[in-house]
Structure 1
Amino acid sequence: MPAISRLALVLTVAVLGLPAAAAPGDTLATVRSAAGAVKVVEVAAGLETPWSLAFLPDGRMLVTERPGRMRIVSPDGQVSAPVAGVPAVHARSQAGLLDVVLGPDFARDRRIYFSYAEPTPGGARTAVARAVLDADGLRLTGVERLFAQNEDPGGGAHWGSRLVFGRDGTLFVTLGDRYSYRDQAQDLGSHLGKVVRIAADGSVPPDNPFVGRAGAMPEIWSYGHRNVQGAALHPQSGALWTHEHGPQGGDEVNLTLAGRNYGWPVITYGREYITGFRIGEGSARADVEPPLTQWTPSIAPSGMAFYTGDAFPQWRGSLFVGALRGSMLVRLSLDGNRIAGEERLLRELGQRIRDVRQGPDGLLYLLDESDGHILRLEPGG
């Protein structure tokens, strides 16, 4: 495309807020925010249903695609061939290859950890594996499955699957209720609808809250969850924060504490999809942890990151959440553990934001599930 024509296209997009057929490095739009003008820059394109992004030490990005592929993306937007050695995944509806994070000792051992829908004779289940990444050779070696849910129903919904390493080196794994099995979220003998905590080798940490309790799965950290697709450590306290999908209403942000019950499906703000009837017995109960905030109507949150960078000083300390149904990026301003305010960004673009990460450059990176883009937010000048 001639330079003048490309410039005209980009300017049109910036004014109208429309997605562009642009090249890596192009500004797709400039949008307003409380921090001033923000440029939305295309980093890479051509991905198929990207789900998660992790930054490698050399600036490249490791990206999962839900159909079952990993790719390496260079800083200038070149997308590699698929990485070999990824195990078979159950790629159906919401299922497939999901989150990926670098291990705590990646610089030494090159280990990555990833979650996926593992096919079984009875159906499928959320599983977690680790492997050694050869980023130049585009292959995984030494793949080890570390954890799998103890139930494997059929169906393609509610896998959870966010992975977060705690400061002590243990790994938090979020697990969905698999939609039709929501009552299991209250059953400590089931992994469905839970957040679990395992050691980096897959073993059970002895200080998990239900270790030694009869009838309880020892991996469980918290329970009463529906479908947690956002998780991050608070940068000051190191506490685990999560968010989860409600049905019709009741998307929640939670401070996710050891041994606590988060209510689903007994205590919830949600309603049934078909009838619109309230689910459960109400929205509060003394033994259930209340959400820090909730969205009704639902925004379908996915991906989450605390912002600690210098590029946007006014955003420092904020929590960013991608929204699928809401087609936007939500910024939550915080006062300690209290949600003090909300700003809705990028609604002009109308993209399904699947993942949110802060890059090593202090900028925010987004996975756009709609068009297979990696996007970067920069100060607009």
Structure 2
Amino acid sequence: MEKLFKAFNIKLNTVNDTLLERYLVHDIDFNERLIAIKGSRGVGKTTLLLQYIKSTLKNDGSVLYVSLDDFYFQANSLVGLAEEFYENGGKYLFLDEVHKYDNWSIELKTIYDTYNTLNIVFTSSSILEIYKGAADLSRRAVSYELRGLSFREFLKIDSDIELESYDLETICKNHISIASEITKDLRIIPHFKRYLKLGYYPFYKQGELAYHQKLANTVTLALEVDVPSIYNTEYQTIHKLKRLLYVIAMSVPFQPNITKLSAKIDTTSRSSTLLYLDYLERANLITNLKTSGKGNNYLVKPDKIYLENTNLMYAIGSSAEEVGNLRETFFLNQLNYKHQVNNSVESDFLVNEKYTFEVGGKHKSSDQIKGLEQGFIAADNIEVGFRNKVPLWLFGFLY
């Protein structure tokens, strides 16, 4: 265990505590005894843990951070670590990458039930389902999801511009005054275009030239490492997932023909193709958009498929220059976190069964939402809107 503490201290001393404090820190109730933080690779889960430890807890031996892919666990169990840590005064145990440990759910349940003064926070891939492990943790663990940077957060980390967030209703009602205040001393459009290209994953700060290559590598790791560690998938399945993602990236957004998609990835089973689409969505690589009322069962064919965020369009797609796709992907990505977003029969998106949005450029007409009481245009390339025309970039201030 001494080596684990040494590795923890090295990692803690190297974390940048002046880096952006993510929105999720304020949403998590750290008084809970078992907390799950899920999120895709590269969104900053490890940094969030270390920043919280450094800013809030005393590094006096009662706190330990460890990644479960450490070689220590080749000869030691998680339960054994927790027992030794607890007996030596441990109070806060932070576990990174739990999906890389075979019996994570059973042992976490054992630890939780045995050591009732030990607080545990664990991170995992976005596709981990805590209620589908060998032991059901859904009644014990409180689960949160960390997303990539919002446009608002990007402004802070990229240019040290600190602005507040707004809920959707406030944006729809007061977008003119909000946008006017933000843009009075700030030319927002160049920042927004930069965000669409490289602003979603915090690791772009490590170097912009290699960012998209690193992002493509991150996608490969998610498919080759994270998916097999959670689902019992064979090599051929991973190969088909890669091919499916590539096919989608070349043509998003599109209305899928499952029969044609199946043929392109050499799968004869319709249900298998729909399952693969579900895997990709759970890995936060795509978003399967469905019409309201169809349900969330993976066997229901999506009406449209998008890449999960605009940065992926530059890293693995060929449609990054198709500005309409960029606009819709951004809107869906930012709204999809805290809101129910469905395909709209009248327009592009139906949000919370209430708001209808048409996404387009500055000259986009309102013909498709005419007569809708809660119909709006999300318009690109404008700083301040007018009536029901809301600047597209402002939807990046929802978190």
TM-score of the superposition, structure 2-length normalised? 0.27
Larger radius of gyration: 2
More helix by share: 2
TM-score of the superposition, structure 1-length normalised? 0.28
